[in-house]
Chain A
């Protein structure tokens, strides 16, 4: 640690000694600094705002919701006459199809995330290393569709995949098929395809951020040592961009499990995901206790999945 480590090929994340330790020179430096806040005092300024914000606007509402899931019925005003009970959870446990749907949704989310990350990696690579001065322009080009409404874009896919949509018209016009393909829309595949489309630009951002922090002098050094481009990629670029790739993966995977809008618009009768059921109970059925119970279960399942995933990844690091 400390100075003199600037030019090494690998830069592991630094673990700084605590502000109080001697290595940091706590006491000695204080004298030299004179007025102004040192790191310790700055701590509170950095710590309190996020803590209060998250506590008030995230933790407490979730706890309220968890409490709601133990409410036995839906009669009466929201906060009055609560009968407590586990029957909401009992209902969920007893309905096997909910569990199956949760598993299917998670699997779909997995496929979508892996695909989106794999497809967007070359995009970020291009932006980071080959776009040069125009990188900002190209990046914004990538993002501009996102300032168009997500709903409208999904509706556009619906129009494209339909039996008289763009794709079928084109295929029939060029004579590839005689009858329109009905299997393009109103099923699970349509949901997967559409969601991959939606997530690609989003996945590119963290990967790009990770790629940009790789010092290009590393490549020069490697080239000087005789490494070919392929090796440079496998040994330098890919490993160093891995945090970004993982970030992208989770950024896509987790929200996708709870997705409900795309299944609603292009999934037809078979493409439902777990999120649709939750959404239905909150908006169509006005059954907030049951919806809350379903949500809690989904939260637990996601936490478990993430936990397993992070353990698996640590394992790979050790193997290498």
Chain B
């Protein structure tokens, strides 16, 4: 990678955008320590009550855990399927190529409400109960176009002669993929996985239709929006999750810097 120092305007731009992105987060943080359940300036009082109540709110914590489970599972499946389809697109010719590509990319243009109802119909016909699994299946379907796009655009510029070289040396194709291709496109795979995880964790239109007795965090949040006195607790959790993640990232960065 280039060692060029960043031109000042570019760095300024980057960090300004970051500040802009975190501004609503800061507002949310203020909301979570606000005494009132409505939010208007000037704030009437500060309190940590909501955080305290959070730890007694089993349902909220469980919902967060459900979201993590669904996101982990569906992002893994979506990335795996995305790798498969990307390789098929870039390395093979076959008659149903356009069909497969179309099928994989089409979830992008179907509104989630529509897909949710459609899957609900399917599961009704199959007599499958709604659960975290049904949500996960839906999330895999909608994340696949993203993972596919990211991995395929990486593979597009990948010189296939390396694969040929490996196979000439005696490796079979799966081994070539595993030990040559995948490691080289690993950043794209991680990027795709991150995208799929993000898509799933935050998604609620599908989850709303397909969750059974265990709601994911956004579903729980959306339904709690009806009741004003629950809102600050949910915001408190969202803020905590974020602070937790940021802390972990900074700690990990410290460790990494010590290594090098």
A touches B in complex, CB < 8 A: yes
A-side residues, CB < 8 A to B, are 2-3, 5-6, 11, 13-14, 16, 18-19, 24, 29, 32-39, 41-43, 45-47, 49-51, 53-62, 64-65, 68, 78-79, 119, 122-123, 125-135, 137-138, 140-153, 155-157, 159-160, 162, 164-166, 169, 197, 200-202, 205-206, 208-210, 212-214, 216, 219, 240, 243-244, 247, 250-251, 254-255, 257-258, 260-261, 275, 278-279, 282-283, 288, 291-292, 295, 298-299, 302-303, 306
Q: DSSP class of A's interface residues: helix, strand, loop or mixed?
A: helix
- Contact partner of A216 (CB less than 8 A), chosen from B2, B114, B141, B167, is B2
Expressed in whole angstroms, the Cα–Cα distance for A58 and B103 within the complex equals 8
List the A side residues contacting B115 at CB < 8 Å. Answer: 58, 61-62
Q: Is the beta-carbon distance between B141 and A130 smaller than 8 angstroms?
A: no
Q: Which of B14-40 contact A (CB under 8 A)?
A: 14, 17-18, 20-25, 27-28, 31, 39-40
- Contact partner of B4 (CB less than 8 A), chosen from A19, A51, A130, A134, is A130
List the B side residues contacting A128 at CB < 8 Å. Answer: 1
A61-B121, A166-B41, A219-B2 known; A205-B195 Cβ under 8 A: yes
Q: Is the beta-carbon distance between B174 and A33 smaller than 8 angstroms?
A: no
Is B201 positioned at the interface, with any CB of A under 8 Å from its CB? yes
Q: Is the beta-carbon distance between B156 and A149 smaller than 8 angstroms?
A: no
Q: Is the beta-carbon distance between B92 and A255 smaller than 8 angstroms?
A: no
Expressed in whole angstroms, the Cα–Cα distance for A180 and B1 within the complex equals 49
When A and B form their complex, what is the total count of cross-chain residue pairs whose Cβ atoms lie within 8 Å? 323
List the A side residues contacting B39 at CB < 8 Å. Answer: 159
List the A side residues contacting B146 at CB < 8 Å. Answer: 251
List the A side residues contacting B160 at CB < 8 Å. Answer: 14, 16
Expressed in whole angstroms, the Cα–Cα distance for A59 and B10 within the complex equals 44
Q: Is the beta-carbon distance between B171 and A36 smaller than 8 angstroms?
A: yes
Q: Is the beta-carbon distance between A291 and B1 smaller than 8 angstroms?
A: no
